[in-house]
Structure 1
């Protein structure tokens, strides 16, 4: 048997022995994170209340009520959460390679069989719902990258090429999502998830952390360069227009600045306690995508700064519970999966709020659990269910 074959067999052995690696410890009670379940329910309920408030006006304009569809979506999401929480994450990890390959094929297929909505071909119409393959890619990365890192074992920390290969795979996935669905925001989220998992898994992440902070330090100089370039640029590219809009929304209202300005008006008019639930003026056909990407602006307008802080606090507590589960996960595989889920939620929340506050250029990113939509919520619920399954395998030590 060659040295390479021995390494492969050893890696496979480590993977199959992951389950129960801490079950052999001192007897204790099984733990289940009811706090995580509670905050997920609270966020979903908060989202339903805001969806009813935002879409109540549309009930007078069209037949039917989109809120009823959102209730069904949330109900389906809770079923998915319960089912996912009862499936052993080790079994999901074993099939993550097929899920990853399938997600890439779906992303590529979107270019050819996808449905064009508002100028973007990112959805596959299934009849009862518009399915977004990029959401499958997020979940696939969250499950598959930890498996690869776990299979590498100690090699991941010893060899410089190991983290580079993982980051390369994440970058390739992000590129394919961008290339075939023209969804830059999701591509950024996917690579961000991969980057965070690599930093957490690597025993000596100083170089990667230094690279990250160097990139942050370069943001302002890059901003100045972009400002000097795009203020004089004349291009039909919608990405150029978005940057121009971000730099000067008052001047480029027809190119998208109108949405930015109306969102800021909504936030500013809310004050400390808001106008009251249901009393938003911007939702009356003034603010585009009020129930989707810009719903945080409506939260600020109706519930004020206090409501925005409450919602932000719920997200922070959700991230804290995920951090707790990752810290106490029964094995490395489970810890890294929860780190991926943590990264997904954190990056998406930060980017959505940053867009609404006009800190970064506008891009189509929903606010988790609050914005309307089916695919994104269902996959978020699946991720929460996986996190709950991992929490259920934590050993709660009995006090002696």
Structure 2
């Protein structure tokens, strides 16, 4: 049993420092994003090298808001957030409805998913992801209790998910609607539903979103372009091809910081969804592998914190927020490398834009709060059955 005592000691030490590691990784990704954005937004300075572009000023403001939100959410007991989850969910739904109100809602690339606030465009679906995660964690942590009028919590979660996804589909944001559905499926699994039920539900949901996408001309053209990228280099596949050119031009060592050619109006959205290829072009393969490694470390650290949450609600919330950031990262990297159809998912912590950045930092705050409330002592119990051994935390 000496090997398990050693394992227990190492696990305890990792558990103690996982919060610091999570903050360090998040700040490192933020720093990379600032440098990458400064380089990619150089074309907007228009020869005034001594001035910081308006994009940088706005991004610094969003970072300040995000760090403040991270601090607040790290100090607020997440159990109090759970108690307020009903009101937070209603508030999130109200914000999504505002996207359709003339004068408030703002349409971008054919999607009505933004609202204008004080000269800034805010994407409510980003913040609602935290609200719906809190709500699902509260009602599904104990599947035996009834939520309202003796209604099953799983049915309540399904109706809630359906309302949010319907609004997102109407707004034209199919990517976020699929993300919300995947969060729902994740909570079903965490709530104890068998995989024999979850897999058909997951497949049906993906098929439904795909059918809706094929019925929308703009989305259908993107899917068809993805299936025939070689035949549409100047059309819907133009952006992806320019992204691949940027990554290929960088090689192993890169062209040098600030020396990207694709950012000079060849690659659209080079400061937002397609900032990763600019990093690869300027700093090379090693930089892109470092970033991928940082994201992997972030997911593993956040997952570790979630694993040692003090209760099931904490486990559910932490796992949900970790998965949301991980899925968005995979989706962005998949799009810029041509492995997935083009969809506007920003690269967490790095891409220009406020809504997703604030969501990610708020998620870090919630994870830190979960980490702060972890049990001071935990026990690892080893059960032996014949030649098999299992470890229970």
Give me the TM-score of the superposition, normalised by structure 2. 0.82
Where does residue 57 of structure 2 map in the other structure? 68
Where does residue 391 of structure 2 map in the other structure? none
Where does residue 249 of structure 2 map in the other structure? 269
Where does residue 72 of structure 2 map in the other structure? 83
Q: Does 1:39 align with 2:39?
A: no
Where does residue 373 of structure 2 map in the other structure? 393
Q: Does 1:294 align with 2:283?
A: no
C-alpha RMSD over aligned residues: 3.1
Distance between the aligned counterparts of 2:25 and 2:259, measured in 1?
26
Q: Does 1:283 align with 2:273?
A: no
1:329-358 residue CA offsets vs partner (Å, 9 max, x unmatched): 001111100011011111111111111111
Where does residue 25 of structure 1 map in the other structure? none
Distance between the aligned counterparts of 2:90 and 2:69, measured in 1?
22
Instruction: Map 1:1-400 onto structure 2 (within 5 A).
Output: 33-60=19-46, 65=53, 66-112=55-101, 113-153=104-144, 162-163=153-154, 165-179=156-170, 181-202=171-192, 205-208=194-197, 210-211=199-200, 237-397=217-377
1:66-123 residue CA offsets vs partner (Å, 9 max, x unmatched): 1122122212211111111011101111111111112112212211230223443221
Contact preservation (8 Å) 2:99, 2:112: yes
User: CA 1:50/1:103 → structure 2, altered by over 3 Å: closer, same or farther?
Assistant: same
Aligned to 1:124, the other structure's residue is in SS state strand
Aligned to 1:121, the other structure's residue is in SS state strand
User: CA 1:396/1:282 → structure 2, altered by over 3 Å: closer, same or farther?
Assistant: same
Q: Deviation at 1:175?
A: 2.1
Contact preservation (8 Å) 1:87, 1:389: yes
Where does residue 10 of structure 1 map in the other structure? none
Contact preservation (8 Å) 2:18, 2:301: no
Contact preservation (8 Å) 2:252, 2:286: yes
User: CA 1:206/1:236 → structure 2, altered by over 3 Å: closer, same or farther?
Assistant: closer
Contact preservation (8 Å) 1:150, 1:332: yes
User: CA 1:283/1:30 → structure 2, altered by over 3 Å: closer, same or farther?
Assistant: closer
Q: Deviation at 1:290?
A: 0.4
Q: Deviation at 1:43?
A: 1.0
Gaps (5+ residues) in structure 2? 1-14, 380-393
Distance between the aligned counterparts of 2:155 and 2:368, measured in 1?
31
Contact preservation (8 Å) 2:112, 2:172: yes
Where does residue 383 of structure 2 map in the other structure? none
Distance between the aligned counterparts of 2:143 and 2:276, measured in 1?
41
Q: Deviation at 1:168?
A: 4.4
Aligned to 1:395, the other structure's residue is in SS state coil
Contact preservation (8 Å) 1:351, 1:365: yes
Aligned to 1:152, the other structure's residue is in SS state coil
User: CA 1:356/1:155 → structure 2, altered by over 3 Å: closer, same or farther?
Assistant: same
Q: Report the more deviating stretch, 236-245 or 275-284.
A: 236-245
User: CA 1:256/1:269 → structure 2, altered by over 3 Å: closer, same or farther?
Assistant: same
Distance between the aligned counterparts of 2:159 and 2:202, measured in 1?
20
Aligned to 1:256, the other structure's residue is in SS state coil
